[in-house]
Amino acid sequence: MAEVDEKRQSLIDSAFDTPDEKFQQFPTGRPVIGETADANGLPKSQQNHALNQLRSELVSGGLPQSNRFQLNINPPASLTTQGSSILRSIMIRTVSVDLPGNTLDTIPDNNIYGPNRNIVQGISYADSIDAKFLMDEDFEVHQYFQAWQRLMYDDKTWNLRYYNDYASGTMDIFILNREHRPTAAFRLWEVYPSTIGAISLDMGTKTPINEFTVSFNFRFWSDIGRYGTKQPTEVAARTSSTLNEQILDGLPIRQVPISRA
């Protein structure tokens, strides 16, 4: 039994003591005589070492602040006639916004023996996010999103319009550092305001209307730091075209530059 326990511990230790220098394990051992230890038996000196490593990591890597962000809306071309001043107002009056996520859709793979496993069938994005905006006294920001929604239908006949008429806009979300410089950025594609939230009015209070919520639908998002303001499919198409052109020009395949992200 002891041999089994030793082998088990040896396997665990070999996996834990990785040779990769980027991992620095916390020191282990017993406290020296007179040194206090915590409930788990970790000496005080080693507790301080762990805390110092955590502090060093936080100082070097930092923590992004949820209140340091900027939201830029790039509306469909038919809405740009209202000028850039309203877009600046929207940017300044943005109170909060959700960063979108994505999910890999999976299905069971039953063509194997033993425990089942799930394989990826496709990718789906959180198809909507919420953003809150400070209300202005003239309801200009609120009316802007109403005008955007009217691109989706004819308010006289209720006939629906084409998708590209209202969903050709994009939305950029920037994460800012302490110097208010962007360190991460994401672009949402085919954006449109699906829901303008209700606003509660109350005769019994003098509280001003502070904010309202807009839910935006979108198709997918991309990392601006990786693809810029181009769609990933556009970048792939351009790379593929360049590759084909060089092959047709007779260059050996080994000389064809391939970009690796």
Closest by CA position to 37, among listed 48, 25, 24, 53: 48
Token representation of residue 140: 């200009």
Query: Which pLDDT belongs to residue 231?
Result: 87
In this structure, how many other beta carbons lie within 10 angstroms of the beta carbon of residue 245? Answer: 11
CATH classification number, 69-225, choose in 2.30.110, 2.60.40, 2.40.30, 2.40.160 = 2.30.110
Mean pLDDT to the nearest integer, 72-99: 89
- Backbone φ and ψ of 8, nearest 5°: -60, -45
In this structure, how many other beta carbons lie within 10 angstroms of the beta carbon of residue 117? Answer: 11
Mean residue pLDDT of the chain comes to: 79
Q: Which tens digit of pLDDT belongs to each residue from 36-51?
A: 555 555 555 555 666 7
Query: Which pLDDT belongs to residue 252?
Result: 43
Higher pLDDT, 193 or 236: 193
Residue 55 has pLDDT above 80, yes or no: no
Q: Which tens digit of pLDDT belongs to each residue from 205-216?
A: 888 888 999 999
Q: Which tens digit of pLDDT belongs to each residue from 232-247?
A: 888 655 554 454 554 4
Token representation of residue 53: 């490593």
Query: Which pLDDT belongs to residue 88?
Result: 93
Mean pLDDT to the nearest integer, 163-183: 91
Q: Which tens digit of pLDDT belongs to each residue from 7-17?
A: 877 777 776 66
Q: Which tens digit of pLDDT belongs to each residue from 123-137?
A: 888 778 999 999 999
Tell me what percent of the residues of the chain surpass a pLDDT of 70.
Answer: 71
In this structure, how many other beta carbons lie within 10 angstroms of the beta carbon of residue 227? Answer: 16
Please give the single-letter amino acid code of residue 116.
N
Q: Whole-prediction pTM value?
A: 0.69
**What is the DSSP-derived secondary structure letter of residue 37?**
B
Higher pLDDT, 32 or 138: 138
The Cβ-side half-sphere exposure at 98, using a 13 Å CA radius, reads 15
Hey, is 130 helix, strand or coil?
strand
Annotated domain spans of the chain: 22-63, 69-225, 230-261
Question: How many residues appear in the chain?
Answer: 261
Rounded CA-CA distance 186/189 in Å is 10
